[in-house]
Structure 1
Amino acid sequence: MADAEVAVLIVGGGPVGLTARALLQRWGVRALLVEKHRELSPFPRSRLVNVRSMEIYRQLGLAARITADAFAPEYGRIRFRDTLCDRDFATAAMIGVNAPVPESPVTGVVTSQDRLEPTLLAAADTRVRFGVELIDLAEETDSVVALLADHQRGDETRVRARYVLAADGANSSVRQLLGIDTTGPGAMGGFTTVVFDADLDRWCAHQPAGVYFTAHGLFAPLYPERGWAWFVPTPEDAARADWPDLLSRAISPSAEVQADVLRVQHWVMNAFVAERFRHGRILLAGDAAHAVPIVGGLGMNAGIADVHNLCWKLAGVLHGWAEPGLLESYETERQPVAHLTLRQAVANTQLLLQVQNRRREQRRTGEAVPVNVELPWSERYFAQLDLVLGVTYHSNAVLTDDSTRPEPSDTGTDHIPTAEPGRRMSHLWLTPNRSTLDAFGEWFTLLTPDPTHWEQQSTAPWPLHIEALPDEHTDLCGLRPYGALLIRPDGHIGARWRHRPSSDATLRHALTAISGSATRDSSAPDGTSHC
C-alpha cells in the first residue's frame, strides 16, 4: 500500500519541474514535487529566459516579478574580448532580450537560474519535499507507485500517482530506471563554474552584457546588484586547482584584480535527445528528455515549453474531458522540437568557437590584429525567434486545413507569423493593453469576428472561452467574417475555419478530436479536418 496518493508526482525541483507545478495548480491538479537536493540550487546555471518562456510566465502572472529581479534590457548582448579587461573585438545583440520585438507582448530577460527558481517556487502552494530522492518505480494498470528515500531522516515512503512527470535533469534517475536510451553526441566535455565577487565596473559597467566570451573562458554577471560567474573547461587536476589564481589570470594577466571565489561546481555539458518521452504513465521533460549545449540559452526554455505543452493534456485526462490518448501527442509534438533545438545549440557553439579561434590564430601568427572581427552570422542570428515562436505541431491534437506550410529557416532566425493550425497563435492586440495571448488560460479559446453564431454551439464538458477578434485581424488570420480559430490552452492553434461552419456540431466535433475522445474522420460532415 502507498503512504500517499497524488494526481501527478513531479520529480525534480529545477525551473521545469517548478513551472509544471505552477501550471498544474492553475489547472486544479493536485501534485507533489520531490527534489533530491535539500534546497534550491545555489548555482546560476541557466542565464536566459527567452520570449516564449516569458509569454508562459505572463500567463501565470509571473512575468513582472521575473523582470523586476532581472538585468536591464541593455544586458541583452554578448561581447567578445581577448580578456575581460580588454575592449570588445566583436559584439551582438540578443534580439528579443535587448529590446521589445513586435512578435510578442513581452521581452525576454537575462537572469540567473538561482534568482528565477524562488519566484517559481512561490508561484504555487502544492506540496514540495526537498532532500527526497526517487529510487524506484512500479507501473500498475491505472497508476505508478514511486519509492522515495529521505536520506536525512533515513526512511522510505511510497507514493501512488496517476502520472509521473520526470524533470530530474540530464542524468535523470527516472530515465535510467526506465531504460530509455538517448541519441546525439552525448557528453561534450567537463566544465567548471566559478562563482565569485570582484569589482569589474571599470571594464564592464559602461559596456554591459549578459555574456562576455574571452580566450580564457566565459564571464557572466549574476545579479543586477553584484556577483559574477566564470565558465571554463575543467582542468585535469581540478581537485588541486588554485581557483583564485586561475581566475585572476583569466580576468587579466596584467591588471591587478582582487577576486573572491565563493563556490566552485564541476559539470558535464551534454547533448542528446531521449529516444522516448513517454513510458506508459511516466513522461520526461526538460533535460531528462533533451540536454543541449548552453550556448544560446535554449535548454531550460525548451523544457519550459515542454511542460506548457504537457500540463493541459494531463489536466484534461485527470478531469475527464480528454482521453489518455491525448498524451501521445506530447512526444509527437515535442520530440521534433528537441532535435531541432539540439542542432541549433550545437551550431551556436561551433560559431562562437569559430570567432575565438579566428582571433587566436591572428594573434598566434603575429599578423596585424584588426580592431574588430567580423562575426560569422547576421545580427539577428541569436534571435532564434522562429525556433521559439514559430514551432509548428503536427499530431492528432491538431486539425489540419489547406494551409501551405512554410519551410523553417535553417537557423530558426526570421519569424513570419501565420495562423496555420499547429502554430503558436500570433500576438495581436485585442485592445491597447490586451494581447491575443492574454485571452488564453485554463481553457480552449475561440477567436472569431462573429461570437454570436459560435456561442450557440454546445461545448460541454470542455472549458471554452469565446473572444471577439477585431476586424483588422481577420485577414492576417486567414478568416472571413464568420470564420474562427480554436486555440488550445498552450496557445497553439488546434483548428481553423475560414468560413462559417456547415454544422452546429462543428466545434464540438473539433474539441472531441483534439482531446482524443474520438477517432477523427477526415470525411466527417462537420468539416473539422479540411476547412
Structure 2
Amino acid sequence: MPVDTTETEVLIVGGGPVGLTARALLERWGVRVLLVEKHRELSPFPRSRLVNVRSMEIFRQLGPAAGITAAAFAPEYGRVRFRDTLYDRDFATAAMAGVDAPVPESPVTGALTSQDRLEPILLAAAHAPARFGSELIGLTEETDGVVALLADRHHGDETRVRARYVLAADGASSTVRHLLGIGTTGPGALGDVTTVVFDADLHPWCARQPAGVYFTAHGSFLPLYPEGGWAWFAPTPEDPARADWPALVSRALGPGAEVRVEVLRVQHWVMNAFVAERFRQGRILLAGDAAHAIPIIGGLGMNAGIADVHNLCWKLAGVLQGWAGPGMLETYATERLPVAHRTLRQAVANTQLLLQVQNRRREQLHTGEGAPDRIEPPWSEEYFAQLGLVLGVAYHSDAVLPDNGPASEPPGSDTPPEPPDSGTDYLPTTEPGHRMPHLWLTPDSSTLDILGEWFTLLTPDPADWGRQATAATPWPLRIEALPYEHIDFCGLRPHGALLIRPDGHIGARWRDRPPSDTTLRHALTTLTRSTRT
C-alpha cells in the first residue's frame, strides 16, 4: 500500500509546552508548521507547574499570557514551605522570586499553574496543524530536507512527512535523539518517582498559609488548581503494582487528622539530569527535555525549553525566508548549550539546598534540640531566587556583535557591570548578548512590548538612523524611540542605538552615531550570516 506524503517547512516532534510554544512562534513568523505527538491527547498529568518571569514575557508577546494568569494560582501561592508533616507548622519557608510578587526587572509576574492547564492554552495560541496519536518511527536526512516516517498509534497507518527542518521537542526519552545516536552528559537517572493525583479536604491545614509546594519528610504535596485537587510526589515504592495508594498518601500526610483520600491518577517516571552532547545534527535540532533533562527542584526545566525555542524559531524563520544564511543555525547550540549546563548546575544546587534544610531538621529532632518552630534556611534568599539565570542569560556567538564603543562609559553612565555567574543575582545591562532590560517607555508600555517578529533599533535619534534603516532590506526591522531619560542607563550618547534581536537579546550596540552609512546593514548581514551585501 502506498504511503501518503505531506510536505511542510518545519516538523515539530512533541506536543508538550516546548513543542506547542515553537508551533506558535513559527506560525507568527509565517512558517508552515506541522506538529506531531505520539500520545492521542494532551497530558492529563500536572507535571511542570512554574511558568517563570521570562517565559511569561515570551507568552505576553505571543498572546496567551492573560489566559495563563487567569487559570493560575494567586501570587501568594508562589512560595515553598517546609513542614514535618502537612499538618504541622512551617519550620522554614522561601518565596519564588518573580512569582510571589512583581519584580522591578520585568513588566510581568510569573505564574504557578499545572501543565495540564497550560497546554490547552498554548494549543489554542496557534492554528497550525497538530496530529495527536502520530508516532515518529524513522528519520532520513536528505540534501535539502528531512523525511520523517510516522505511524498512527490507533490504526497503524504509516505516513511520510517531508520537511525542510525537524525540531525535536519529544522529551527526555526523545525518539529523535536516540535515532540520531546523540549521547548525553551528566548524572543521568537520579531515581524513580511517583506522582499521585488525588482529592482530599486539606483546606484546614493550608488555607492560612498557601504555597505552591509543601516539602515534608514523607514527600512533597502540591495544590493543583485554584478550585481544588492535590498531587503527592515521592520515591516509587518497591512494588508499585501492588501499592495501596490511598493508604500511602494518608500515611504520608501524617497523624493529626482523619481525611478521606480519593486517588485519581498515578504516574511513575524517572527524574533525569543530563545535557545532550549536541543540539543539532544537520537539519534536525533538539529543544527542551530532548536537549536537556533538568531535575524538578526549582522549576527550571520547562522554562529552559521555552527559552530554547524562543532562541531558535526566529533563526529558522530567517533561514527559510532567505534573510539569514544556513550558518545562522549554528548559533543556536553555541548560545543555548552553555545555558543548559548552567541550568543543570543550578537545579542540582537547588536539590542540595533542599536536602540541607531537611537534614538540619532531622538533626534537630534526633539530638533533642526541642524542635523549634523555625530554623534558618541555609540559603538566605537563594532558593527559587533565580532571576540571574532567568533574566540574566548572556549569549556569546556570531549572532552577537562585540560592543564597538569606547572602553569607558559615557560621562554619567549608570550602566551596571557585567553580572556574575550566579543563578540568583540579576543586574540589568545593555551589553550585547544580554536580554534587553525592562524600562518603562510610557506608563503602560515597556521596552519589551515594542519587540516582536522583527529586529528593533532602539535609539534616541530615530531620524538619523532612519536613513540607515531604509537601506537595511530584506531584514524585518523597526525603529523605536528611546526616551532621553534612559540613555545613560543604556550606555548611549544622544545619537547611539541598540539593535535588539527578535528574541529580545541585544545583538549590537553603538554608543554614538553610526560610523558609516552602511553600519546597520553590515551589522544585520554579519549577525544573520547572510550572503546579501
TM-score by length of 2: 0.96
Deviation string, structure 1 residues 217-236 (Cα, Å, up to 9, x no partner): 01100000010000000011
Match of 1:44? 46
Pairing of 1:55-454 with structure 2 (within 5 A) = 55-401=57-403, 408-409=419-420, 411-454=422-465
The one of 492, 497, 518 equivalent to 1:505 is 518
Question: What is aligned with 1:462?
Answer: 475
Amino acid in structure 2 at the alignment position of 1:278: R
Q: Give the residue type in structure 2 aligned to 1:449.
A: P
Residues 246 and 487 of structure 1: is their aligned pair in 2 closer, same or farther, counting only changes over 3 Å? same
Counterpart in 2 of 1:528?
none
Report sequence identity in percent: 78
Aligned equivalents of 2:242 and 2:123: distance in 1?
36
One-letter amino acid of the structure 2 residue matched with residue 451 of structure 1: P
Distance (whole Å) between structure 2 residues aligned to residue 362 and residue 479 of structure 1: 55
- Name the SS for the 1:199 alignment partner: coil
Shift of 1:430: 1.1
1:486 pairs with 2:503: no
Measured after TM superposition, the shift of residue 436 of structure 1 is 0.5
Superposed CA deviations along residues 291-314 of structure 1, whole A, max 9, x for unmatched, are: 010010000000000000000000
Once structures 1 and 2 are overlaid, which stretch shifts more, 380-389 or 16-25? Answer: 380-389
Q: Is the 8 A contact 2:223 2:229 kept in 1?
A: yes
SS at match of 2:338: helix
What is the RMSD of the two structures over their aligned residues, measured on CA atoms?
1.4
In 2, the alpha carbon distance for the partners of 1:209 and 1:410 equals 29
- The answer to whether the Cα contact below 8 Å between 1:16 and 1:304 also exists between their aligned partners in 2 is yes
Deviations along 1:420-479, one digit per CA (max 9) or x if unpaired, are 000000001111101000111010000000000111121110000000000001010000
The amino acid across from 1:496 in the alignment is R
Distance 1:112 1:86, change over 3 A: same
Cα distance, 1:380 vs structure 2: 4.5
Deviations 1:252-311 (A, max 9, x none): 234211111000000000000000000000000000000010010000000000000000
Contact 2:148 2:161 in 1 (8 A): yes
- SS of the equivalent of 1:304 reads helix
Q: Distance in 2 between matches of 1:347 and 1:2?
A: 49
Q: Is the 8 A contact 1:295 1:345 kept in 2?
A: yes
Name the residue aligned to 1:523: none
Name the aligned partner's letter for residue 452 of structure 2: G
Tell me which stretches of 4 or more aligned residues in structure 1 moved more than 2 Å. 364-367, 402-411
Question: Counterparts of 1:97 and 1:519 in 2: how far apart (Å)?
Answer: 44
Return the offset for 1:61: 1.2
Is the CA contact (8 Å cut-off) linking 1:251 and 1:257 kept in structure 2? no
The CA deviation at 1:5 is 0.4
* Contact 1:85–1:251 under 8 Å retained in 2: yes
Unaligned stretches of 5+ residues in structure 1 = 521-531
Structure 1 residues 511-530: aligned runs within 5 Å: 511-518=524-531
SS in 2 for 1:89: strand
Q: What secondary structure does 1:222 align onto?
A: strand
Paired residue for 1:15?
A: 17
Counterparts of 1:254 and 1:437, CA distance in 2: 49
Q: Is the 8 A contact 2:145 2:162 kept in 1?
A: yes
The superposition leaves residues 173-229 of structure 1 with CA deviations (integer Å, 9 ceiling, x where unpaired) of 000000000000000000000000111110001100001000000110000001000
Q: Is the 8 A contact 2:392 2:428 kept in 1?
A: yes
By how many angstroms is 1:408 displaced? 4.8
CA contact (8 A) 1:51 1:96 kept: yes
Equivalence for 1:529: none
Aligned partner of 1:474: which letter? I
Residue segments in structure 2 that go unaligned for 5+ positions in a row = 408-415
Task: Give the number of aligned pairs.
Answer: 520
Does the 8 A contact of 1:513 with 1:519 survive in 2? no
The separation in 2 between residues aligned to 1:421 and 1:463, in whole angstroms, is 19
Of 456, 459, 474, the match for 2:487: 474
> CA–CA distance in 1 between the matches of 2:422 and 2:87?
32
Tell me by how many angstroms 1:153 deviates: 1.2
TM-score by length of 1: 0.96
- The 3-state SS of whatever aligns with 1:227 is strand
One-letter amino acid of the structure 2 residue matched with residue 30 of structure 1 = R
Deviation at 1:360, TM superposition (A): 1.7
2:259 is aligned with what amino acid? V
Alignment CA distance shift 1:221-1:268 (3 Å):
same
Secondary structure at the counterpart of residue 7 of structure 2: strand
Once residues 189 and 532 of structure 2 are traced to their aligned partners in structure 1, the CA distance between those partners, rounded to angstroms, is 42
Does structure 2 conserve the Cα–Cα contact (< 8 Å) formed by 1:188 and 1:269? yes
SS of the residue 1:456 aligns to: helix
Give the superposition deviation at 1:40.
Answer: 0.3
- Retained in 2: the 8 A contact 1:195–1:230? yes
Q: One-letter code of the match for 2:236?
A: T
Q: CA deviation at 1:518?
A: 4.6
- Residue 85 of structure 2 contacts residue 218 of structure 2 at CA under 8 Å; is this kept in 1? yes
User: C-alpha displacement at 1:365, in angstroms?
Assistant: 3.2
Change beyond 3 A, Cα 1:406–1:518: farther
- Encode CA deviations 1:128-187: one digit per residue, 9 max, x unaligned: 000010011000000000000002011100100000000000000000000000000000
1: CA distance between counterparts of 2:417 and 2:285? 31
